[in-house]
Structure 1
Amino acid sequence: MPAYPDEKELEKQPSHIVANDGVESGAEGEVLYALIAEDREHDIQLRTMSWQKAAWLLAGDQVCLAIMAQTWSLSVLGWVPGLITMVLAGACFWITSITMHKYIMKNPQIKDICDFGYYVFGKSKIAYEFSGAMLLANNILLIGFHVLTGARVINTLSDHSQCTVVFSVITTLMGIILSVPRTLKHISFMSMFSAACMGLAILLFLVFSGIEPAPLYGYGGDYPTLGQVRTYAFPLPGTTWVDCMNAVLNITFLWVPQILFPTFIAEMERPQDFPKSLAVLTGISVFLFIVPPAIGFRYLGQYSTAPAFGSLGIVSYKKASFAFVIVPTVVIGVIYANVTGKYLYFRIMSNSHHAHSNTVLGWGVWVGLMGGIWAIAFIFGSVIPSMGDFLSLLGAAFDSFFGFIYFAVAYWHLYRGKYFSGAYRAIMSIIHIFIMAVGLFLLGPGLYAACEAIIADYRVRARDARIRVMRGQHH
């Protein structure tokens, strides 16, 4: 049976627990402390993450390869529109995340984005199922993307000693093994190592892009067919609306991980401390999402690719910086697999004691789900187009809901009847109207632009394949 939030069970929660330490007073606080007390009685306890571990988990998810696609976005948009988009995306990320947290503290029984959709749209089962379908599609596609990326990293490092499919299988098996831990607290330890490795990869890229004589490759041609490296304030002549929209979507994709946040909050021992974790993440993100891409654009200019490693002109430089990417590639896939697995696991196990106990059946179902999720992701990874186009598609199709629309609706619930009760509230209300408009824009014109870019990408690939065949026949 579908595991919709059980209102009758919530009514049975003990009413003698007193809320404190920043938790909503009254019924919300009582429910939260009852949920924590219940979790303490389980063999497998989920609500165990400190805010520090949550911060590392957030950083492990956000410090990712997509950062290296932002240089390409700047090369399409130019300095002025590019930096404005980055700053606005960061501001929207902080505001919507805080709104989401406030709503969850009002409804502490929320354990994932599906529950969030259920409550925010008036306890709608349709919204719950829609959110679940979107969660599965988004996460499995992203895991598939990481499978493909891992395979390409190993392929590059090994000088193509095996076909990409073999390396995809290796990446998939690594992901399944690392996905066995059931709690996000354990995965947060992996995230620390993951963020450090990605940070090293970014640092090496910046050093190498600065000391090499010239980049090797750009989407418009090899160096120096596009002229000397240069930067520019606005898009170059000939840049289409679809190109610009895809660059914007690429940026918003990087800034919108909130589909995972309700699950993270549900596994914190003090969910009220989530803003502390968020503040750490925002500080890291503001620096890494803007400074390295800007430096990369300065040295690669119109030759920027997504990811930017592809533009490096010296093979040893590319390998040295690319080598560290394999760790965050797999670990981020593990984070998305864990959130996806929990959604499916608790739908299958429902209120069974196996759901929270160390039983053969409980662990068997969990391991089976991990294997199935990664296997499906492996299949999707085989048909993913270029990185930039793929991130744009995800940004339009999913982030429009889980980064903007859901939280604008949550704000409407939180402050109904008080939208203009003061200057600050009026400003925040106007901002959330803007957030809703952005979400609808990404869902409409943004999704159209992403699809157009993918169609064009496949058209170019088909043309290149025909040329190779014709050349082979000629010889």
Structure 2
Amino acid sequence: MDSVVERRGSYDQGQPLLGDDSEAGSDEDKLGLGGEAKAEHHHHKSKISSWTNTSLIMCANLMGAGVLALPAVMKDVGWIPGLGLIALLAFGAVYSGILITRIWMLADQRKFPAEKYGDLGRFAYGETGKRVVNSVTYFYITVVTVVFHLAAAESMQTVFYDVGGNLCLWQYSALTIIIVLPFAQIRSLQNVSLLAIIGSVTIIGTVLIAVARLLQGGPLEGAHTVLINTSRKDIRPKVNSLVLIVFSYCGQAIFTELISSMQKPKDFPKAVWSSTLTMMGSYILIASVGYACLGALAIAPVTDALPEDFWAQIANVLLFGHVLVAYIIELNILTKGMIHAWHTLDPAHWPTGRSKAAKIRRRVMWGLSTCILIGGSFLLSNTVSFFSELLAFAGATGGIATTYIFPCLFIIKVDQGISNGERRLCKTIIVVAIIFSVVCLFNTVLDIMQKWKDIGPPFMCMSCDYKKANNLTPGVC
């Protein structure tokens, strides 16, 4: 997934992606309600010393569970379109990062503070722009949070298949609630960058195990591959395959904060190039190996296609760890947004101050908010229990907008010196991106409805035995 920590700390929540020297405590004790930073700051946020450190942070945040869907993408389009799109969209992501850098530099020259992605929207289009950017981003986070809930349940189902018996997917989804809920009560995430790196290590470990295990086992019987998939019966998956690749490079919403955190912001394009090329190499590796070994049997996540052994369980344990970290951080962002919304609706009765009673009431409100969000993720992930389709939905609704539409809209508005050629290029990107986003969204909804018909309705059991009996997985579960 794209990346699975890419949207953290960048949505006017006041929570920095990078660690700082602030005192420990809840975000609401140090920040204004809703995450808006108070006027008085008692600490100085540390600066990133070099573009290489920024590159590492970007890789840690952008590389996510979306990478595990790439072998299935290859199945839908074939070798040439699949690898070609992975490379082409990598350069598209680089251009997007360069545009954001230019917009930030213009804002800095005009003494306009821009530390978050929404600030760029305000710089270009005022408060309306900021509200639109934040609304799209919040919706995007919500969908991705549902994806994490589903991925956590599926990884646990594979890990505990031998000892847990033939339990339904929704039962593991309910167990996910019990595991995540205590962690969701952590209100202060001062070491988000550390959590992001932990999440990155676990997803890299998952990918390496998957690649090694697939190569060791060799191609499955019937693992047929083609240079170009010309089958007309897979038109909708072909279209949605592109948005899955777009999703794998998403993460532009954190770029503004990263730039403002660098000692030399002008070096940010170097970090964009190095991190994106690193990701492209990793994506080509897992996509190529997964497709060569699984062919038309490739599924998402690819870990569900691993042979039933110890390493498959380890891979899914690492995947669960990655998803858990991402889930916690996304929930933290969404919970702050919900708290801010509640405060806006009834500011007169909101508990303020540092009294014990006020702090207890704020904790209760936080706990209630997390219960609502996790409960909603449980319901939605079991209503649409299809990993690839949920990823495509996230990419179509928010990934394309944050990666291509917003940067192009902003640069046209704020850069008076932009050339006519680049202006036409950006306008073309905007039009194509909007059309493609609408088409992908429509296709994804149709795919979900078709899968309800072919595989089963919402909240069906979806046990491992059912998946095997209906040829939904060539692996453990």
Residue 434 of structure 2 corresponds to residue 440 of structure 1: yes
Residue type matched to 1:360 in 2? Answer: K
2:409 is the counterpart of 1:453: no
Q: Give how far 1:316 is off.
A: 4.1
Amino acid in structure 1 at the alignment position of 2:126: K
Shift in alpha-carbon separation, 1:129–1:46, aligned structure 2, 3 A: farther
Measure the CA separation in 1 of the matches of 2:290 and 2:296: 11
1:128 positional shift = 3.7
Partner of 1:404: 404
Shift of 1:89: 1.2
Change (3 A) 1:54 1:259: same
CA contact under 8 A between 1:76 and 1:244: conserved in structure 2? yes
Partner of 2:73: 73
> Cα RMSD (Å) of the superposition?
3.8
Secondary structure in 2 matching 1:259: helix
Contact conserved, 1:190 with 1:331, CA < 8 A, in 2? yes
> Which 10-residue stretch deviates more, 109-118 or 295-304?
109-118
Alignment of 1:97 with 2:97, yes or no, is yes
- SS of the aligned residue for 2:244 comes to helix
CA contact (8 A) 1:113 1:263 kept: yes
Shift in Å at residue 185 of structure 1? 5.1
Change over 3 Å in CA distance of 1:366–1:294 after alignment to 2: same
With over 3 angstroms needed to count, the CA separation of the structure-2 counterparts of 1:387 and 1:54, relative to structure 1, is same
CA deviation digits over 1:341-371, x for unaligned, max 9?
4545566679999799999379736666555
CA contact (8 A) 2:351 2:362 kept: no
The CA deviation string for residues 222-265 of structure 1, in whole angstroms up to 9 with x for no partner, is xx5xxx32322101434432121011111111112223444555
Q: CA deviation at 1:165?
A: 4.3
Task: Summarize the Cα distance change of 1:381–1:111 in structure 2 as closer, same or farther, 3 Å threshold.
Answer: farther
Aligned residues: 411
1:86-114, Cα deviation, whole Å (9 max, x unpaired): 11211111111221233234345345444
TM-fit CA distance, 1:191: 1.8
1:414 Cα shift? Answer: 3.4
Separation in structure 2 between the aligned mates of residue 91 and residue 175 of structure 1, nearest angstrom: 36
* 3-state SS, counterpart of residue 126 of structure 2: coil
For 1:435 and 1:309, how far apart are their aligned partners in 2? 34
Gaps (5+ residues) in structure 2? 1-10, 13-36, 467-477
- Report the identity percentage: 14
- CA distance in 2: counterparts of 1:111 and 1:355, whole angstroms: 27
Higher mean alpha-carbon deviation, 64-73 vs 168-177, is at 168-177
Is 1:232 equivalent to 2:235 in the alignment?
A: no
Decide which of 239, 245, 250 is 2:239's aligned counterpart.
245
- Are the counterparts in 2 of residues 260 and 339 from structure 1 also a CA contact under 8 Å? no
Quote how far apart the aligned CAs of 1:339 are.
3.7
Q: Is the 8 A contact 2:63 2:248 kept in 1?
A: no
* Residue 359 (structure 2) aligns with: 360
Equivalent pair of 2:85/2:245 in contact (CA under 8 Å): yes
Report if the CA contact (8 A) 2:147-2:391 is conserved: no
- 2:202 paired residue among 173, 197, 200: 197
| 1:156 counterpart (151, 155, 158) | 158
C-alpha change, 1:62 and 1:231, in structure 2 (3 Å) is same
Q: Which residue of 1 aligns with 2:212?
A: 207
How far apart in 2 are the matches of 1:287 and 1:230?
24
Q: Distance in 2 between matches of 1:324 and 1:165?
A: 21
Q: Relative to 1, partners in 2 of residues 1:181 and 1:66: Cα closer, same or farther, differing over 3 Å?
A: same
CA distance, structure 2, for counterparts of residue 243 and residue 189 of structure 1 = 36
Q: Which has the larger radius of gyration?
A: 1
Match of 1:473 in 2: none
Aligned to 1:42: 41
Higher mean C-alpha deviation, range 372-381 or range 88-97 = 372-381
Normalised by the length of structure 1, the TM-score is 0.74
The answer on whether the counterparts of 2:218 and 2:293 sit within 8 Å (CA) in structure 1 is no
Which one-letter code corresponds to 1:91 in the other structure? F
Please name the residue that 1:17 is paired with. Answer: none
1:93 counterpart SS class: helix
Distance in 2, Cα, partners of 1:343 & 1:149: 23
What stretches of structure 1 of length at least 5 have no aligned partner? 6-37, 216-223, 421-425, 469-475
- Residues in 1 aligned to 2:290 and 2:352: alpha-carbon distance in whole angstroms: 50
Name the residue aligned to 1:307: 301
Which secondary structure state, in structure 2, belongs to the residue aligned with residue 68 of structure 1?
helix
- Alpha-carbon offset, residue 408 of structure 1: 0.8
Deviating more after overlay: 358-367 vs 136-145: 358-367
The answer on 1:123 being equivalent to 2:126 is yes
Aligned equivalent of 2:22: none
Amino acid at match of 2:95: I
Contact 1:184/1:264 (<8 A) preserved: no
Using the alignment, how far apart are the partners of 1:327 and 1:356 within structure 2?
35
SS in 2 for 1:230: coil
Alpha-carbon deviation of 1:175? Answer: 4.0
Cα distance between partner residues in 2 of 1:337 and 1:152 = 19
Flag the 1:138–1:168 CA change in 2: closer, same or farther, 3 A: same
Contact 2:144 2:391 in 1 (8 A): no
